[in-house]
Each structure stands twice: as C-alpha cells, then as structure tokens.
Amino acid sequence: MLELNLARRAPTVSPLASETGVTVTPLGPEGRLAFRIKPAALAGRSAIDGFDLSGAINSRSTAGESGQQRAALRLGPDEWMLLIAADEVDERCEAMSAALAGVPHSLVDVSHRDVSFAVEGSGADAVINAGCPLDLSSKAFPAGSATRTVLGKAEIVLQRLAADRFTVTTWRSFAPYVQGLLVEAARDTV
C-alpha cells in the first residue's frame, strides 16, 4: 500500500525540451542506499559488494555491466549514496550487512524518499546554474562528479554523467518545486 501511495504523489509534469534542446525528464524508480562508515572501519577495502568506495569526495564511481550497473556517490569523508536497480534493494542490503558484520556502519534504504530528474542537452549546466551556486563548468565539475548542494531552496544531490548530462535528485516533497525551477530555467535558456 505504501508503494502505491508514493507512486500517486510522484511528479506528473511531462518531459520538457527547451528551444535550445535542453530536456528535463522525471526518472523512474531507483534503489538508493544511504551508507555511512568511518574510513578506518573499511580496513583497507576499496570495494564492498561490488560498490567501488575508493573515489575522492564529490565523485561518482560505477561498476558492473550497463544493465546491472551500480554507482557509489561519495558525498563526504564517511558518506556514500549507493545507487542500484529498484528491485535489488533488499538483496544488496543483506549482502552489505553480511560483508560488514561486526563493523560499525549505517546502511539505510532511502529509495522512496527521493525523486530524480535527468537534465540533458547543450546548456544543461546553465539550466541547473539558474538555481545552483556551484561552478558547473567542465573543469570545476567534470563528468564523474557528484555532490550534495542546493537548487533554489531545496537540497539536491547532483551528478554529472557526461558533458551535457546531469541527474538531479531531491526529496519527494521538494520534487514539484525542483522540477518547476528546472522547467522554468530550461524555458528561459533560449
């Protein structure tokens, strides 16, 4: 029943393409695990259950084949957001917990909390910069970057997948605001 209720509250605005070709598209469900562990507790391990945890802070590491790809977003010195297929959440939680048995850590399924949008096209960085204070130039925020920041008045997790492809993730309750801000900024980038 919870899944049905959450699905009903998902954003309903259709994808938008601006005249410059920037698109803002709501993305489907994705598994998200908030993972916290002290670097010393990793005991030299750079990966756990197929997640590459060796990246620098504000980076995105991927592993696996395209259909089963996993991503680890390193958001802080002891904080990662782990991205997986929506149907793998329980399996990954069990495997991670088993791999870290006896090691102090936190692993929380936050899949239903967040909503993501793809912002793609030439000028996607300008659309996001309409509400985000970060320097999103390719030099300062290259492909493979990920960070927690703000868009307008909402907290987001921002990923740069390629030169002109970003993913913006926010809490479900902020999704209509974030989507509206992105859509309006895309319309204004003429």
pLDDT digits (tens, 9 = 90+) for 147-173: 999 999 999 999 999 999 999 999 999
**Tens-digit pLDDT profile for residues 18-44:** 556 899 999 999 999 999 999 889 878
Q: Is 115 a residue whose pLDDT tops 90? A: yes
The SS3 of residue 93 is helix
> pLDDT > 90: what percent of the chain?
75
**Tens-digit pLDDT profile for residues 123-147:** 999 999 999 999 999 999 999 999 9
Q: Is 9 a residue whose pLDDT tops 80? A: no
Q: Is 6 a residue whose pLDDT tops 90? A: no
Q: Can you list the domains of the chain with their CATH numbers? A: 2-28+113-188 (3.30.1360.120), 31-109 (3.30.70.1400)
CA distances from 90 to 31, 111, 176, 178, 184 (A): 9, 11, 28, 29, 37
What is the DSSP annotation of 43-88?
TT-SEETTEE--SPTTEEEEES-GGG-EEEEEEETTEEEEEE-GGG
> Around 6, how many Cα atoms within 13 Å sit in the side-chain half-sphere?
13
The SS3 of residue 153 is coil
Amino acid identity at 176: P
Question: How far is residue 50's CA from residue 69's CA, in Å, rounded to a whole number?
Answer: 10
pLDDT (0 to 100) of residue 13: 47
Let me know: does 51 contact 33? Beta carbons within 8 Å. no
Look up residue 51 and give its two tokens. 């997640």
Question: How far is residue 129's CA from residue 74's CA, in Å, rounded to a whole number?
Answer: 22
Q: What is the pTM of this model?
A: 0.86
pLDDT (0 to 100) of residue 34: 97
- Run of H or E residues at 184: helix 175-188
pLDDT (0 to 100) of residue 4: 45
155 closest CA partner among 122, 184, 126, 133: 133
- Looking only at the bridges linking them, the beta strands covering 31-36 and 165-171 are unpaired
Q: What is the mean pLDDT of residues 46-63?
A: 90
Let me know: does 112 contact 174? Beta carbons within 8 Å. no
pLDDT (0 to 100) of residue 66: 54
Confidence of residue 2 (pLDDT cuts 50, 70, 90): very low
Q: Output the CA angle 53-93-38, nearest 5 degrees.
A: 40
Q: Is 174 a residue whose pLDDT tops 60? A: yes
